[in-house]
Amino acid sequence: MLLNRPPFLVIALLTLTACANLLSCEEFIFPITATARNRAVRESAGGLAESAPTHRTQGPQQPEYVNVTAEVGISLRYCKPPTLIPSRESTIQLLVHGITYNKNYWSALRPPAALPGPMDRYSWVRYAAEHGYATISIDRMGNGLSSRPDPYTVDQLAMHVSIIHKLVRALRTGTLLGRPFAKVVYVGHSFGSVIGYNLVAIHPETVDALFLTGFSIPDISTSDLVPVSRLTLGRYSGLSDGYLVSSSPAGRRASFFGSNGTFDPEIARMDFEMQDTVAAGEFLIGNTAPPVNYAGPVAVMSGSNSEEPRASRTMFSNMLGTLSIFITQLLKPIGLLASGYSYTDSRLIRKCQA
The answer to whether the beta carbons of residues 148 and 228 sit under 8 Å apart is: no
What's the confidence (pLDDT) of residue 234? 73
- Does residue 278 or residue 259 have the better pLDDT? 278
The answer to whether the beta carbons of residues 172 and 191 sit under 8 Å apart is: no
Closest CA to 283 of 156, 166, 167: 156
In the predicted model, what is the mean pLDDT of residues 323-339? 28
3-state secondary structure of 116: coil
Query: Chain-wide mean pLDDT for the chain?
Result: 78
- Does residue 319 or residue 93 have the better pLDDT? 93
pLDDT tens for residues 87-107?
A: 999 999 999 999 999 999 999
What's the confidence (pLDDT) of residue 19? 62
Rounded Cα distance, 146 and 142, in Å: 6
- Cis preceding linkage at 60, omega within 30: no
DSSP code for 248: -
Closest CA to 129 of 299, 333, 349, 348: 333
- Does residue 327 or residue 75 have the better pLDDT? 75
Rounded Cα distance, 48 and 153, in Å: 11
Percent of the chain clearing pLDDT 70 (strictly above) = 70
Query: What distances in angstroms separate CA 11 from CA 5, 38, 115, one per listed residue?
Result: 10, 58, 16
Query: What distances in angstroms separate CA 130 from CA 22, 126, 214, one per listed residue?
Result: 9, 6, 24
In the predicted model, what is the mean pLDDT of residues 193-200? 94
- pTM greater than the 0.85 cutoff: no
In the predicted model, what is the mean pLDDT of residues 204-232? 79
Query: 2-353: which CATH topology?
Result: Rossmann fold (3.40.50)
The answer to whether the beta carbons of residues 171 and 184 sit under 8 Å apart is: yes
What's the confidence (pLDDT) of residue 172? 98
What's the confidence (pLDDT) of residue 316? 42
DSSP code for 187: E
Rounded Cα distance, 150 and 281, in Å: 9
The answer to whether the beta carbons of residues 75 and 104 sit under 8 Å apart is: no
The answer to whether the beta carbons of residues 156 and 281 sit under 8 Å apart is: yes
pLDDT tens for residues 45-87?
A: 555 555 555 554 444 467 899 999 999 999 999 999 999 999 9
